[in-house]
Chains A and B, each alone.
Chain A
Amino acid sequence: DTGVSQDPRHKITKRGQNVTFRCDPISEHNRLYWYRQTLGQGPEFLTYFQNEAQLEKSRLLSDRFSAERPKGSFSTLEIQRTEQGDSAMYLCASSFLGQGEKNIQYFGAGTRLSVL
């Protein structure tokens, strides 16, 4: 098992551009989470999926943000019309929620976004 994989690790973009990040969870994990971490802060929840269904979205997830998990495996997070305030580390985590399982979340290395 290779763990949670995120791509790219770093992204530099100009304000107003669209960006897309990818997350590949641990195989057979049915839950996938996106968090955002700004400098000096703890991660903040953005959204999560159970299989392909997006079950919860934070108020932090503005209309410019969209996340998908089309086949219940990998997920993408797209930010449209990026703003400087979007600069942050975007973390993906996955877990398995099932009978007897405690929904322990395992994190990827993150994608660091810099908006110029």
Chain B
Amino acid sequence: AQKVTQTQTSISVMEKTTVTMDCVYETQDSSYFLFWYKQTASGEIVFLIRQDSYKKENATVGHYSLNFQKPKSSIGLIITATQIEDSAVYFCAMREGGASGSWQLIFGSGTQLTVMP
């Protein structure tokens, strides 16, 4: 069965530093997609970045990047030069297998990031 685990409940960092959030996953599928979403204090959830399992290069979008370690079933999110507005809950998610039009996302429990001035 598919499972996504985020063991860090909360992290606090100083502004302008780099933070890494951990995520490990379990899947029997040979092809899968991994995602990170951000949920702000208002409750809004936005997509940040995605990693396709067949790609060896780590995805990068703006000041977000991923550390994809396939043998360890691990997909860490790295935020460089953190800003106060990065404070939020970050969710890791994995696409479950199935027909292209009927797939599901499995979410981790989230990591609360607090960026301090």
Do A and B interact with each other, yes or no?
no
